[in-house]
């Protein structure tokens, strides 16, 4: 009986996620890429700036969820002089600093990546299925970013989780009699990397459903003057599901619980629809692409 049990334990394929709280080594490295604004061309000539109003709240929520002695969390927010730099180049520079330890922060992150069991990357931006917009309004494939981390030497054979939150750049309020689901803004079909040890969880539930620009009425029936600076529904729900997970919860269960809660939001229009108008497109459930070759379990949040 003991031999059979031992054989079963040997053949259970799991990632070794360290649970010892007293270990000096960090267990997981978490990177948040926050692109809180972009440019949009109107009529082919005019350029307007679009801002993800509640992006700061999303970063705060993620930092509070993934900042503990189990996680090393870092936020990539480009400085003013770097905002014109292509995001792909910015990510490339980040990885080079991490792997080569070119500065103090790079040396710190290099140690974290080498000793971490799991790499988690959150990307918050305007975009759609398979792509996002940089600050200049350029459309960039998510695969271009994911591939760079996939090739990082310190992350080889380690599970790499990419949690994507993109907001529809063209989402707008319209008259209810004009409601229709617009075609997704996709220039070409996107293909995710088919490599092992990668999981992509992508949400296109726009933050505008929560950050609407003064179009909801308050309790007195008057229109509000300012957008509600809330955390977007997807990030808020994902963090809630993650915090509620029990010890050794499989990551797929966290995704399932998140989608079950989001299903109620998507199917009940009163959660996201407007009073006198509606949105040009309705929210849809996030999708997941799982290429992890082993089972991934996390210690409980508490």
The 10s digit of each residue's pLDDT in 231-287 is: 889 999 999 999 888 777 889 999 999 999 999 999 988 788 777 777 888 899 999
**Cα-to-chain-centroid distance, residue 287:** 12
Neighbouring C-alpha atoms within 13 Å toward the C-beta of 184: 18
DSSP assigned state of 277: E
Residue 74 pLDDT class (50, 70, 90 cuts):
confident
CB 228 within 8 A of CB 211: yes
**Which residues are CB-contacts of 55 (< 8 A; sequence separation ≥ 6)?**
34, 36, 124, 207
pLDDT over 80 at 183, yes or no:
no
| Architecture of the 24-212+222-298 domain | 3-Layer(aba) Sandwich (3.40)
Closest CA to 109 of 31, 192, 187, 211: 31
What are residue 163's DSSP bridge partners? Answer: 122, 201
Closest CA to 122 of 162, 72, 166, 71: 162
Mean per-residue pLDDT, 114-135: 90
User: Comparing 208 with 188, which gets the higher pLDDT?
Assistant: 208
Q: How many CB atoms lie within 10 A of CB 279?
A: 23
User: Comparing 271 with 44, which gets the higher pLDDT?
Assistant: 271
Mean per-residue pLDDT, 81-97: 67
Residue 168 pLDDT class (50, 70, 90 cuts):
very high
Mean pLDDT of the chain: 75
Task: Map out the domains of the chain as residue ranges.
Answer: 24-212+222-298
pLDDT of residue 115: 77
The 10s digit of each residue's pLDDT in 93-114 is: 777 766 665 555 555 565 577 7
pLDDT over 50 at 186, yes or no:
no
Residue 301's SS3 state is coil
User: Comparing 178 with 120, which gets the higher pLDDT?
Assistant: 120
Q: How long a stretch of residues is the chain?
A: 302
pLDDT of residue 290: 87
pLDDT over 50 at 80, yes or no:
no
Q: How much of the chain, in percent, has pLDDT values that exceed 90?
A: 24
């Amino acid at each position: 009986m003991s031999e059979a049990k031992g054989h079963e334990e040997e053949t259970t394929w799991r990632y070794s996620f360290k649970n010892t709280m007293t270990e000096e080594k960090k267990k997981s490295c978490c990177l948040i890429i926050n692109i809180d604004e972009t440019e949009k061309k109107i009529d082919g000539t005019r350029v307007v700036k679009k801002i993800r109003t509640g992006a700061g709240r999303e970063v705060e929520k993620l930092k509070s969820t993934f900042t503990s002695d189990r996680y090393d969390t870092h936020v990539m927010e480009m400085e003013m002089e770097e905002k014109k730099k292509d995001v792909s180049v910015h990510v490339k520079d980040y990885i080079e600093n991490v792997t080569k330890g070119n500065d103090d922060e790079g040396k710190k992150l290099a140690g974290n990546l080498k000793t971490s069991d799991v790499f988690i990357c959150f990307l918050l931006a305007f975009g759609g299925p398979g792509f996002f917009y940089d600050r200049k309004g350029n459309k960039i494939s998510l695969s271009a970013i994911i591939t760079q981390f996939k090739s990082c030497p310190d992350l080889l054979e380690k599970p790499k989780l990419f949690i994507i939150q993109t907001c529809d750049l063209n989402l707008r309020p319209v008259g209810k009699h004009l409601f229709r689901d617009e075609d997704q803004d996709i220039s070409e079909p996107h293909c995710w990397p088919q490599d092992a040890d990668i999981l992509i969880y992508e949400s296109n539930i726009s933050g505008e459903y929560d950050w609407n620009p003064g179009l909801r009425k308050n309790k007195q029936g008057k229109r509000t003057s300012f957008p509600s600076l809330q955390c977007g529904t997807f990030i808020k729900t994902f963090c809630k599901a993650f915090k509620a997970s029990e010890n050794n919860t499989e990551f797929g269960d966290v995704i399932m619980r998140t989608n079950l809660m989001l299903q109620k939001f998507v199917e009940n229009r009163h959660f996201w629809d407007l009073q006198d108008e509606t949105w040009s497109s309705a929210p849809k459930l996030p999708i997941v692409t799982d290429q992890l070759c082993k089972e991934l379990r996390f210690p409980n949040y508490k």
